A = this chain, B = another copy of it.
């Protein structure tokens, strides 16, 4: 639960060889953009599973890109009720969601061990000033994030418990797929049923019962953190999914 404090890692990946560049969903950068990003990057951060990367109520001078691992963004009320707002996977950007400067209104916690690329917030203005194409990408990213929030809000507000579970599992599987975290219709999911419950606005018990119902449908399997997609179309139907493909495009 402590805020992550980590020494500078031994070796860092140069931006030209950034593993994220391999993803087909991300756009190519010009050499000039790459040079700027290399200067923008201030280092890498390693965070262990369960640690808090960003703490609600504090200021955070950094922006991050997830290089590997999963995290979740959440808000906690005074009496402990928790709402998970979104999940962060490799290639996702963390830090734009709060006020551009100022106190964070949410926390971010690592679900698995993570490596993040770190950028200083104060250089953001320089990016806007000299690299409009990257600024545009940031807007694109923010807009994609907002679309996911919209869809999430529809789930929590209007979908049935079964639809919610089906939807979020489908959603996370598709996102994992986009960053090559699936193979043979299988993905490692680092979260627990409690996380799902907190994301979907349901109790743990009801989440478990509903999940059992979903698993009984044989559309998916999920055991020991291993998720397996058996019948994609069936899951899509259960989720009431309207294929919006929210493919990511740029990153920084």
Binding site for B on A (CB under 8 A): 75, 77-78, 81-83, 85, 96-100, 105-106, 125, 128-129, 132-133, 135-136, 138-140, 142-147, 149-154, 156-159, 198-201, 240, 242, 244
Contacts and interface: CB of A to CB of B under 8 A. Distances in A.
Contact of A139 (B139, B153, B199): B139
**Candidate in A135, A138, A153, A240 with the most chain B CB atoms within 10 angstroms:** A153
Contact of A77 (B77, B83, B158): B158
B153 A152 contact: yes
B143 A135 contact: no
Given A100-B139, A139-B139, A105 B147 contact: yes
A135 B146 contact: no
Given A81-B158, A83-B157, 13 more contacts: A77-B158, A77-B240, A81-B159, A85-B150, A96-B139, A96-B146, A97-B143, A98-B147, A100-B143, A132-B135, A142-B146, A153-B156, A156-B156
Contacts of A96: 139, 142-143, 146
Contact of A157 (B140, B143, B156, B240): B156
A136 B146 contact: no
A131 to B, nearest CB: 9
B150 A106 contact: yes
Contacts of A150: 75, 85, 97, 105-106, 149
13 contacts: A75-B150, A77-B159, A81-B159, A83-B158, A96-B142, A97-B143, A97-B150, A128-B139, A132-B135, A135-B139, A156-B156, A156-B157, A157-B198
A98 B151 CA distance: 12
Contacts of A125: 132, 136
A106 to B, nearest CB: 6
A139 to B, nearest CB: 6
Given A135-B128, A156-B153, A240 B201 contact: no
Contacts of A128: 132-133, 135-136, 139
